[in-house]
Structure 1
Amino acid sequence: MNKLVKLTLGVVATAAIVSCNQQASKETPASSTPATSTQEVAKEEKIVYVNSDSLSEKYQYYKDVRTKLEAKVKKAQNDLQAKGQAYQRELAEYQQKGGTMSATERQATEERLVRLQGDLGRMDQNASANIAQEEQTEFSKVYSAVTEYLKKHSEEKGYKLVLTYSKTNPTVLYAEPSMDITKQVIDALNKEYSDKNASAKK
């Protein structure tokens, strides 16, 4: 029997390039500020990153989705286990009494056991497929919520690139702590999610 699909609970990827319509800054005499210094500061402000490990641990929407999916996996496992135990009981009973059954009874019982075994296999496959589909749908919504917020936030702050960092998938090997906007992103996302839930309950 195949095992139920395991939740991947993958980390939400938040890399997004966004456009920024900033107002032109006031011109200053070239002699007052070196051009290279201004360019370096501007460059530093345009690229930031979000720690996706922290995002998955502290973003309430992500945690709620993960909890809901884990509950569905557990229920599916319990249902499958119950059906499996019922099948095993019938199989054991047949093995004990099979010798005393008539040929017709044995054939009918064997056909029933074959059907039950097939039902278990289909139940396993359907549960796995349904959970995998729901997982994809739910985490796609989480991803959209994060990227939509980052798009607005980046337009406000003038970020051109938002990277994602994870210890399990370190595509960014090093970044200055000043580039880390994880906490403010998580705080804002949690507030947005909390406000949305509060409005839905009214």
Structure 2
Amino acid sequence: MKNASLILNIVLAVAVAVLYYLHFKGTPSQETTATAVPTESKGKSIVYVNVDSLLTKYDFFKDTQKVLESKRFQLDNDLNTKGRNLQNKAAFFQQRAQTMTMDQARATEAALQKEQQELLQYRERAAQQLALDEQKKNEELYNKIFEYLKKYNKENKYEFVLGYTKGGGILFADAPNDVTKKVLEGLNKDYKSTQETVKK
């Protein structure tokens, strides 16, 4: 047991001596410096765009949202009008039901049920169409941003342009790497020029 303790103490003493030597041996080797330099000289190869700011300040997105909101509003109004008309017909039917024959009551009830079914189908089709419009606009938005970033990156040569959102996958983003303002300026400039071309 004493021998094992003695051997363990010798091994520990050697390990401490080696660590002491490595810690205080002086300047880092050429190899260490060579590996440290490229990471520093590369600079900002990764930047980010704040997606929330991009969406609230990109004119194309704002215009798209207005168009979609208008369509939603029109659809809601249309559905409300059709719904009220159906309710009025049903109320009128209930008032007149006692004065109708059985055949007239059945025919009117069947017509009302058919109209209700058609209204439900109309609402479903309109909602699907609205969702498709929204999907197309989102795809168009993504393509516009992606194409602009490709053009923007020809000058800057970034390896990655990340999308940052609060509560998203990126937990921290350093402010000097934020290129949102520059990207927004470029996107809005491009969008404005396409709008002027359309007006002509």
Normalised by the shorter chain, which TM-score bucket? Answer: 0.7 to 0.9
Match of 1:181 in 2: 179
Cα RMSD of the aligned pairs, angstroms, is 1.5
- The one-letter code of the counterpart of 1:192 is D
Q: Secondary structure at the match of 2:61?
A: helix
Gaps of 5+ in 2: 1-29
Q: TM-score, normalising length from structure 1? A: 0.80
Q: Return the offset for 1:87.
A: 0.3
Matches within 5 A, 1:144-183: 144-167=143-166, 169-183=167-181
> Which stretches of structure 1, 4 residues or more, deviate above 4 A after TM superposition?
none
Q: Secondary structure at the match of 1:159?
A: coil
- Structure number with the higher helix fraction is 2
Match of 2:113 in 1: 114
1:81-104 CA-partner distances (Å, limit 9, x unpaired): 000000000001111110111112
Match of 2:191 in 1: 193
- The one-letter code of the counterpart of 1:97 is R
Match of 1:11 in 2: none
Cα distance in 2 for residues equivalent to 1:56 and 1:161: 20
Q: Give me the identity figure in percent.
A: 37
- The one-letter code of the counterpart of 1:136 is Q
- The one-letter code of the counterpart of 2:130 is I
Match of 1:6 in 2: none
Q: How many equivalent pairs are there?
A: 168
Cα distance in 1 for residues equivalent to 2:44 and 2:154: 12
Cα distance in 1 for residues equivalent to 2:64 and 2:179: 23
Cα distance in 1 for residues equivalent to 2:176 and 2:68: 35
Q: Return the offset for 1:39.
A: 2.5
Q: Secondary structure at the match of 2:170?
A: coil
Q: Secondary structure at the match of 1:163?
A: strand
Contact 2:164 2:173 in 1 (8 A): no
Contact 1:149 1:189 in 2 (8 A): yes
Q: TM-score, normalising length from structure 2? A: 0.80
Cα distance in 2 for residues equivalent to 1:79 and 1:141: 28
Q: Secondary structure at the match of 1:178?
A: helix
1:88 aligns with 2:87: yes
Q: Return the offset for 1:75.
A: 0.3
Match of 1:99 in 2: 98
Q: Return the offset for 1:38.
A: 4.6
Match of 1:40 in 2: 40
Q: Secondary structure at the match of 2:44?
A: helix
Q: Secondary structure at the match of 1:106?
A: helix
Cα distance in 2 for residues equivalent to 1:156 and 1:115: 63
1:32-62 CA-partner distances (Å, limit 9, x unpaired): xx753452241x4110000000011000001
Cα distance in 1 for residues equivalent to 2:150 and 2:130: 30
Cα distance in 2 for residues equivalent to 1:41 and 1:75: 57
Cα distance in 2 for residues equivalent to 1:176 and 1:71: 38
Cα distance in 1 for residues equivalent to 2:80 and 2:168: 39
Q: Which has the larger radius of gyration?
A: 2
Contact 1:45 1:158 in 2 (8 A): no
Match of 2:55 in 1: 56
Cα distance in 1 for residues equivalent to 2:60 and 2:98: 58
